[in-house]
């Protein structure tokens, strides 16, 4: 790897013991800063906690968790830990119920965030010679500005196309010779369809080499599909507005887990029921502590995202640990006939069928006195309209789904473009059951 400002071996390949020392110093600073926020001041005051309570990383367990509800209850300024004059930007999550969660940033916060994104993009091979198109919505959504400033920092020529309008996206890709794209996975699939509708083969007729996909759960099968559709490499990017935005964790070229940038975050994986740490390598809820945020540090924030730490070192040489592909949020899980089901289990099976397009919708509803799972899956354009063939396919899909989720779903194979598609993150699950 050639040297560059955005390959930072002194941090990316730092020894574990040095990294832990750095984390401890930064965590102490974080606690000291957090105490300036009314929320933490009250909470830690009652418990007698201060930066001095943190003598080793193990002591972090003494500090209570911070939850999304805390952010809502103290909306909007209750967790701000600095003078208002130091704040230069706020972002909020796309939350639909109650108060949104808002995060405030200082100049330095924005700089650290852009650095993480630049480092991540460099890691997957992007350079200042790339033309980088961002199809995220700009504005409050962090995938717009967050990726934008990181790509600029790297020195790529950026195309801030923003969300939607596939014809315009395609025109930019063709006219500017776009080599790299940031897109949510559901939109990447949609964009490939739009290319084909224009008579352009996205696998051969563009200069694209790299996709950055993230912001919503997706399966390995969905990634491979996107890679084939465009003949590119696609890398998984994880982020959330509470942790600033994209670039919290990012896949390296090995495509085997996302390095979580541990100089910026302390990661814990807990059992969401007992709140105790799970053994290494097991799935649980990810809890994060920010290490370089001044405007609004968060300590032991419960992300509700389910993942695990992949044990062992990564062949790329980076020492920051790897997170497994995210299964979704704990609240994405639904229970039917006593069985716990994640939408991603269903996606995994659907994507095994090349006869299907990328779009699908799971609906859970009460029929009579039973809960039933309906799965609408769009057929690929190039597929047959022979009814018996479709029926046989339906049977095969249903059987494989039953093996995976242990409940027999009612599968409906529908024409392409039948399932409504949102401009932002895909809606994969609708629960229509009556709640008593």
Binding site for ligand ADP (CB under 6 A): 93-95, 142, 214-217, 236-241, 303, 305, 326, 329
Calpha distance 215→212 (Å, rounded) = 10
Residue 156 C-beta: closest distance to ligand ADP, Å? 20
CB 202 within 8 A of CB 173: no
Residue 102 C-beta: closest distance to ligand ADP, Å? 11
Q: Which residue reads 């405030």 in tokens?
A: 104
Residue 141 C-beta: closest distance to ligand ADP, Å? 6
Residue 46 C-beta: closest distance to ligand ADP, Å? 29
Q: How many CB atoms are closer than 10 A to CB 122? A: 23
What is the arrangement of strands in the sheet containing 284-290, beginning at the earlier edge strand? 265-270, 284-290, 301-307, 328-329
Q: Which is nearer to ligand ADP, 206 or 289 (CB)?
A: 289
Radius of gyration of the chain (CA): 22
CB 360 within 8 A of CB 350: yes
Residue 140 C-beta: closest distance to ligand ADP, Å? 9
Distances (CA, A) of 332 to 286, 413, 428: 15, 23, 9
DSSP bridge partners of 210: 180, 233
Q: Show the site string, 238-257: x = touches Zn ion by CB under 5 A, - = not.
A: --------------x-x---
Selected from 110, 270, 314, 390, the binder of Zn ion by CB under 5 A is: 314
Q: Which residue reads 């992949």 in tokens?
A: 310
Is 324 one of the binding residues for Zn ion (CB under 5 A)?
A: no
Q: Which does 314 bind (CB under 5 to 8 A by kind): Zn ion, ligand ADP, none?
A: Zn ion
Q: Which does 303 bind (CB under 5 to 8 A by kind): Zn ion, ligand ADP, none?
A: ligand ADP
Residue 127 C-beta: closest distance to ligand ADP, Å? 23
Q: Which does 79 bind (CB under 5 to 8 A by kind): ligand ADP, Zn ion, none?
A: none
Residue 304 C-beta: closest distance to ligand ADP, Å? 7
Selected from 32, 157, 278, 316, the binder of Zn ion by CB under 5 A is: 316
Nearest to 246 by CA among 205, 215, 217: 215
Q: Which does 289 bind (CB under 5 to 8 A by kind): ligand ADP, Zn ion, none?
A: none
Contacting residues for 397 by C-beta, under 8 A, at least 6 apart: 349, 350, 353, 356, 377, 411, 413
Q: Which is nearer to ligand ADP, 130 or 285 (CB)?
A: 285
Instruction: Enter the tokens of residue 150.
Output: 């990181």
Q: Which is nearer to Zn ion, 177 or 312 (CB)?
A: 312
Positions touching Zn ion (CB under 5 A) are 252, 254, 314, 316, 318
């Amino acid at each position: 790897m050639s040297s560059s400002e955005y390959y930072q071996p002194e941090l990316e390949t730092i020894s574990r013991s040095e990294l832990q020392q750095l984390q401890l110093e930064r965590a102490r600073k974080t606690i000291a800063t957090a105490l300036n926020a009314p929320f933490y001041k009250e909470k830690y005051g009652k418990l007698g906690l201060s930066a001095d309570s943190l003598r080793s990383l193990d002591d972090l367990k003494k500090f209570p968790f911070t939850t999304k509800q805390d952010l809502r209850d103290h909306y909007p300024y209750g967790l701000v830990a600095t003078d208002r004059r130091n704040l230069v930007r706020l972002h909020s999550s796309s939350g639909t119920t109650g108060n949104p969660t808002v995060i405030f940033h200082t100049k330095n916060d924005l700089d650290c965030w852009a650095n993480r994104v630049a480092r991540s993009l460099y890691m997957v091979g992007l350079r200042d010679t790339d033309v980088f198109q961002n199809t995220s919505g700009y504005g409050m959504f962090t995938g717009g500005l967050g990726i934008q400033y990181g790509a600029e920092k790297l020195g790529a020529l950026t195309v801030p196309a923003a969300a939607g309008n596939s014809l315009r996206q395609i025109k930019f890709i063709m006219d500017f010779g776009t080599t790299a794209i940031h897109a949510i996975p559901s939109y990447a699939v949609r964009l490939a369809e739009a290319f084909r509708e224009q008579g352009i083969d996205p696998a051969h007729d563009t200069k694209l080499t790299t996709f950055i996909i993230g912001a919503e759960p997706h399966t390995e099968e969905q990634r491979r599909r996107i890679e084939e559709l465009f003949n590119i490499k696609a890398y998984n990017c994880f982020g959330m507005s509470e942790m600033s935005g994209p670039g919290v964790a990012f896949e390296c070229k090995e495509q085997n887990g996302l390095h979580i940038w541990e100089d910026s975050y302390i990661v814990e994986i807990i059992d969401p029921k007992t709140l105790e740490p799970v053994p290494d390598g097991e799935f649980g809820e990810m809890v994060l502590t920010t290490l370089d945020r001044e405007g609004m540090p968060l300590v032991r924030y419960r992300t509700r995202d389910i993942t695990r730490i992949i044990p062992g070192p990564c062949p790329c040489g980076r020492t920051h640990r790897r997170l497994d592909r995210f299964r979704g949020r704990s609240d994405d899980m639904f229970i039917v006939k006593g069985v716990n089901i994640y939408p991603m289990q269903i996606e995994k099976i659907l994507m095994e069928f090349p006869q299907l397009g990328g779009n699908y919708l799971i609906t859970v509803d009460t029929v009579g006195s039973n809960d039933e799972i309906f799965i609408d899956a769009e057929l690929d354009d190039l597929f047959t309209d022979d009814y018996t063939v479709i029926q046989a396919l339906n049977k095969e899909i249903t059987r494989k789904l039953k093996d995976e989720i242990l409940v027999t779903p009612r599968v409906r194979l529908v024409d392409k473009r039948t399932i409504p598609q949102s401009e932002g993150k895909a809606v994969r699950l609708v629960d229509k059951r009556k709640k008593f």
